[in-house]
Amino acid sequence: MTITATMVKDLREKTGAGMMDCKAALNETSGDMEAAVDWLRTKGLAKAAKKAGRVAAEGLIGLAAKPKEAALVEVNSETDFVARNDTFQKMASGIAEAALGAKGNLDKLAKAKFPGGKATVADTVKEMIGTIGENMTLRRTAFLEVKKGAVASYMHNMMAPRLGKIGVIVALESAGDPEALKSFGRQVAMHIAAANPQSVDVDSLDKAVIERERAVLTEQAKESGKPAPVIEKMVEGRLRKFYEEVVLLAQSFVHDPETAVGKAMAAAEKSAGAPIKITGFYRFALGEGIERTSDDTA
């Protein structure tokens, strides 16, 4: 029997299982919809899928780090109770280790072998759903590396080694002293966790963000009734203040609020004995951007 896209779609809507899993089920059962449902259930796929509609906004940020490379992952669960479960934590740690090889590619990470096992990362998550009984998702991953220098990291609200609620990795290119780079890099990572910058410098800030802010500031300045040249200067001055809020190198360093991060980096260069360039960073905060339900009962 020919398996059509409509049949696959109908089975997916019925079970919530993945497209490829639904197609495989229909092929195995010669297109029998009910038998395909049972086939998915026997494989544990339908059981996991039934929970897929539930919001998974808790969980853990996982970190794996080496001197010149590091990776972050976000693995979500429905409740913080499960995030404190030792089995879930071991899974999150294993996924973070596998993320070093995936180098920021989420699909590659999902298909990678789970460390110490035969199953893929994606299948390991499905198995954990069936074991614990909560919806879980591997939401995202990030990776940074340098040829010369260091990739520093920091985990905030740590619940277990390299597992917590806010994870940061930051890449510093430099030929300087490794220990000095590691020390300064950790300070910068802690700063990023607290200050949540949007970019390393002004040049790497999203141009759409700048133009949107400029438009708002221009309209505000026009209300002053001052001449166009004055308004232009007002806008540029306010933009500089905006950069101090969202650009890493322009922000006040949390370890020394009287000093900008850029100036703190210049001072660190003396200790390291070589120029330092921050080439990138990632900050993962657990559940950010996920719409949480408001009908939970306590």
Q: Is residue 63 part of a domain?
A: yes
Q: Comparing 45-54, 128-137, 245-254, which segment has the lowest mean pLDDT?
A: 45-54
Predicted confidence (pLDDT) at residue 105 exceeds the cutoff of 80: yes
What pLDDT was estimated at residue 219?
84
Question: Are 105 and 135 in the same domain?
Answer: yes
The mean per-residue pLDDT over the stretch 1-18 comes to 83
Question: Are 34 and 83 in the same domain?
Answer: no
Dig out the tokens for 263 from the structure: 């100036």
Q: Is residue 223 part of a domain?
A: no
Question: Are 115 and 68 in the same domain?
Answer: yes
Query: Is there a contact between 175 and 76 (Cβ–Cβ < 8 Å)?
Result: no
Question: Are 71 and 37 in the same domain?
Answer: no
What pLDDT was estimated at residue 297?
34
Q: Is residue 110 part of a domain?
A: yes
Range of the domain at 29: 5-50
Dihedral sign for Cα atoms in the order 113, 117, 122, 125: negative
CA atoms within 13 A on the CB side of 199: 13
Who wins on pLDDT, 14 or 120? Answer: 120
Nearest to 80 by CA among 99, 110, 56: 56
Torsions phi, psi for 179 (to 5 deg):
-70, -40
The mean per-residue pLDDT over the stretch 88-112 comes to 97
Question: Are 9 and 140 in the same domain?
Answer: no
Q: Is residue 12 part of a domain?
A: yes
Who wins on pLDDT, 9 or 152? Answer: 152
What pLDDT was estimated at residue 35?
85
Q: What does pLDDT average to over the chain?
A: 90
The mean per-residue pLDDT over the stretch 96-108 comes to 97
Predicted confidence (pLDDT) at residue 56 exceeds the cutoff of 90: no
Nearest to 214 by CA among 240, 239, 246: 239
pTM for the complete prediction?
A: 0.78
pLDDT digits (tens, 9 = 90+) for 258-297: 999 999 999 999 999 999 999 999 999 998 877 655 444 3
Question: Are 75 and 95 in the same domain?
Answer: yes
pLDDT digits (tens, 9 = 90+) for 30-50: 998 888 887 877 676 665 555
Whole-angstrom CA distances from 294 to 52, 55, 72, 88, 297 are: 18, 11, 28, 25, 9
Q: Is residue 159 part of a domain?
A: yes
Question: Are 84 and 167 in the same domain?
Answer: yes
Predicted confidence (pLDDT) at residue 6 exceeds the cutoff of 50: yes
Q: Is residue 298 part of a domain?
A: no
Who wins on pLDDT, 116 or 100? Answer: 100
What pLDDT was estimated at residue 50?
52
Q: Which residue has the tokens 């905060």?
A: 285
The model's confidence at residue 298, banded by pLDDT at 50, 70 and 90, is very low
Question: At 101, which CATH number?
Answer: 3.30.479.20
Enumerate residues 6+ apart whose C-beta is below 8 A from 29: 35, 36, 39
User: What do you get for the CA distance between the two ends of the chain, in Å?
Assistant: 51
Q: Is residue 127 part of a domain?
A: yes
The model's confidence at residue 51, banded by pLDDT at 50, 70 and 90, is low
How many domains are there within the chain? Answer: 2
